[in-house]
Structure 1
Amino acid sequence: MSSQTSNPDAGPAHGPATLVSAWKSAQSRLKAAGIDSPAIDARLLLEAATGATRLEILTDPYRVLDEEPLARLEDYLTRRERREPVSRILGRKAFWKVMLSVTPDVLSPRADTETVVETALSAFPEAMGFSMLDMGTGSGAILLAILAERPAARGLGTDISEEALAVARDNAASLGLEARAAFLRTPWASGLADACFDLVVSNPPYIPTPDIAGLEPEVREHDPHLALDGGEDGLEAYRALAPEIARVLKPGAPFVLEIGFDQAAAVTAIMDEAGFEQLRTVRDLGDRDRVVTGLKPTGLG
């Protein structure tokens, strides 16, 4: 047996670089740089740099790599060591069951936000038709993930960033959802008709302004602050959203809002004061408060 196959950690100094040696080397570098998920990030960057699939890395680990993909991987790793997120390096991010393009103009979607999607989907059977509004849609992540699961639904995403809306439109087209997803530049629900949606969702900015400086570099330096900054106490967006949701939501219909892990009581109080009922908090996979949801009363105009 050759030294190449007997030593999976063999690198350029011991022979040609292979998929497995490149993966292990990448993991070591990212771990040394303090990256939280070095194995996953190394695999994603290796796949992108080499064109290899996850299965191919496992079933053909000793495939020799040429200089071009190795140079590409080196560039990706250097950027990740500087705390640039994988989604920014690759320009795409998996969310729920869809793949989304992301740019510096939009928030990189996070697994925590899938709690919004899951909560919304639980309110509508698969074959049911309904209309939804996603306020502050960004990349379109929440809206498009829900529409992809509910083929009879249609939706509107609003945002004040034309650049973000361009990303959302591209994502809708890539997913074949452009016929059921529309996008509009407007603050929250400004200009929309009263009582016209069966569902309203939003992942608004909720980080208190003083806390932004202490965020991880991946967030602080690469996500648009417009999508992060929730004002001095982190609750400005919810105060603005509450009356807008009450206005555009149909009586008896639900809303679903993402919140910060320590904001459940405050956001619930804001929505209660706005007249909503059956308010409850939903926890994410990390067992943290992540969503406040409730209904517009049938008697609320």
Structure 2
Amino acid sequence: MHSRGGRSEPSPTTRRAALTGAVGLTAGLVGATGCLGRADGARVLAAGSLSVPLENGIGPEFETETGYRYEGEYYGTNALLRMVEDGTKYPDVVVGADVELLRDRLYPDHADWDAEFAANEVVIAYEPETNLGQRLAAGEPWYEVFADADDGDIAITDPDLDPLGYRAILLFELAEREHGLEGFREAMAEAVYREPDEPQLLAGLENGNRACAVAYSNMAAERDVAVRELSDAYNFGNPAYADRYAAVSYTTEGGQTVEGSPVVYNATVRTDAASPKIGRTFVSFLLENRDLLVEHGLRVGDSLPRFHGDPPEEVEP
């Protein structure tokens, strides 16, 4: 069990882990399997919230239709971008959960274009048998329920490692501003348990260690847990509220300040990728197989895909 507020490096989730249900495989086993280490497939480094859609949907279909292998690892977006920047990982494709974060960190040294391909929203997942869960199910305001939680009852991901974590902190600030809850953001930031391994966020609900978790909608649907949906004013899911989301911000331990933003995923092929053609083939496959994304709880509206920079012709659907 990680201690609350820990800042340990997250363990990756790999193809083998997701297909056997052991999400969160250790780094040692990843090295043994050679993940992201061979050139005859698409090597993908992606946001942890996409581990199941990519492993159980997109990845296998990509292999079947193209004949290329799919190799994926999954971390919080902040963490994976740092790995690309410092040369720890050498993927062909990078997929993030915060559009501007990827551009700020990878342009121009590692990328010069990206494609926005899917959206998501923030929800509250809960265990119905707990006191907090019963109150949420009864319709009490979620922020009043959270205010009564004991330390460690509520889980979020680490805000210094991935956007879901800092969106949880920003969710608390939006509620503080909307409802005059002085000190609510700070109090909640101190009280929550911070899970460093994003794909493991909801495991605490299932094993009885947590009552609630701030999660993405698709993650809750994949684990079939009870959910309290949030209004568009809080859920970072409606582009029409982008200005409202941007009114709050979070500064990471590394000193980077990020503004609130709608949950949109974007993908790029590294400019110095080992297999750029296969990488572009994978991104094109992502854009052309919208139904697979929807099947795994992601949103693909009429405004997607969107492109930034000058994408190669073979990527545009």
TM exceeding 0.5: no
Q: Which has the larger radius of gyration?
A: 1
User: Could you state the TM-score of these two structures normalised by the residue count of structure 2?
Assistant: 0.29
The structure with the greater share of residues assigned to strand is 2
Kindly indicate whether structure 1 or structure 2 has the higher relative contact order, using CA contacts under 8 Å at least 6 residues apart.
Answer: 2
